[in-house]
Amino acid sequence: MALKQSHRSNVPAFIVMEVMRAAAEREASKQAVYHLEVGQPGTGAPKKVIEAAKHALDTDKIGYTVALGIPELREAIATHYKSDYCVDVASDDVIVTTGSSTGFLLSFLSAFDPGDRVALAAPGYPCYRHILNMLGVEPVLLETGPEDRYQPSPDLLKQAMQNGKLDGLILASPSNPSGTMLDDAELKALIEFCQEHGIRLVSDEIYQGISYGRNFQTALSHTKEAIIINSFSKYFSMTGWRLGWMVMPKDLKRQIESMAQNLFISAPTLSQVAAVAAFDAKEELEQNICNYAKNREVLLNALPELGFKKLAPSDGAFYIYADVSDLTDDSVTFCQRILKETGVAVTPGLDFDPFNGHHTMRFSFAAGHDEIIGAIEALRNWKR
């Protein structure tokens, strides 16, 4: 007799991870690979973070921490909002998480019940909808395009509400995969719409600090009711340290703390202790942004010459999103072919957009500059 399997576990694969695996297999066979598929900084953690971790290993037993995180790190995060955005955040409202992924799970569990409807832009980070589906919450995809700058709007929310009440909205600015950002007026309009209609806002701000000529503003500038998700992975270049944070609205604080205690106990202690030093590493981190900007400029200039002419603005993060409808009707096969024939690993848009993703793809420019140049040359020599 076959044993039971849960229906909730039947979710699609995260395609970028499949691309990473194929790229790793190619590397294992000693063939060149240029990693433009994954949103991972090519740099390691800041030097001060490494030094703090070494000191902690020598002097600290590295045991459990309380579920909300060590006080020093929560205070450092709160100070960050005051110094960078002139926003007052109480350290008591900060919870340190095991990456932003834990933050998404805790926020969705605390704010939504099975059967609730939560809106999010398509294209968008695929794990939003996969996690919602696993929890029995309905993802309501807002089909966006260049005319919307790939971002949600009050008008799109109104259209979605014609099919039923919305209980939540997931917002990402800068966005993955498009790299587009909302300006402050657009952000304020969305927040006011959510407040007027009783929609819980979850603001994904993990690319905070990585922008090119546009100013980032946190949703906390306009509301204390939103759930804020952030991470040390992107701006702080600490992906493998698996550390993030949430700023919680007070009405959800106790629920989130209790769930964190039961599900995760605490975020990695060594990562927490070391991350306090990340806020003193601004000079090194800002140099990383300069490197991303250099990669971005080179790619934006080169891609149209290589046949990729329809590109999203790439206001922030480290992605360029391309409409390749004039090149293919099957972005998955197209990206597989590019990897096989050139060694350039890129991500098909179907990962991010079930509506139009077969016509789009994402280039990441988070890698080192030499890797970007190598990828461009490989694509230039490609006989397609």
Per-residue pLDDT tens listing for the chain (384 residues) = 788 888 888 887 777 888 888 888 888 888 899 999 988 899 999 999 999 999 999 998 999 999 999 999 999 999 999 999 999 999 999 999 999 999 999 999 999 999 999 999 999 999 999 999 999 999 999 999 999 999 999 999 999 999 999 999 999 999 999 999 999 999 999 999 999 999 999 999 999 999 998 888 899 999 999 999 999 999 999 999 999 999 999 999 999 999 999 999 999 999 999 999 999 999 999 999 999 999 999 999 999 999 999 999 999 999 999 999 999 999 999 999 999 999 999 999 998 999 999 999 999 999 999 999 999 999 998 977
Domain ranges of the chain: 15-44+282-380, 47-278
CA–CA gap between residue 126 and residue 19 (Å, rounded) = 14
Name the residue with tokens 């790229």.
23
Quick one: pLDDT at residue 383? Answer: 74
What fold does the segment set 15-44+282-380 form as a domain? Aspartate Aminotransferase, domain 1 (3.90.1150)
Strand order in the sheet with 310-311: 310-311, 319-323, 360-364, 347-348
Q: Which pLDDT value is given to residue 106? A: 97
For tokens 């979710």, name the residue: 11
State the pairing for strand pair 117-122/138-143. parallel
Residue 252 token pair: 């959800």
pLDDT of residue 212: 95
Contacts within 8 Å (CB) and 24+ apart, 306-314: 306/376, 306/379, 306/380, 307/384, 312/146, 312/149, 312/150, 312/178, 312/179, 312/180, 313/149, 313/178, 313/179, 313/180, 314/178, 314/179, 314/180, 314/212
Nearest Cα to Cα of residue 12 among 246, 327, 357, 325: 357
Domain 47-278 has CATH 3.30.590.20: no
| Integer Rg of the chain from CA | 21
Contact 159, 119 (CB under 8 A): no
- Helix 184-197 to helix 154-161 angle (10° resolution) is 30
pLDDT at 338: 95
Question: How much is the pLDDT for 263?
Answer: 95
What was the pLDDT predicted at 2? Answer: 84
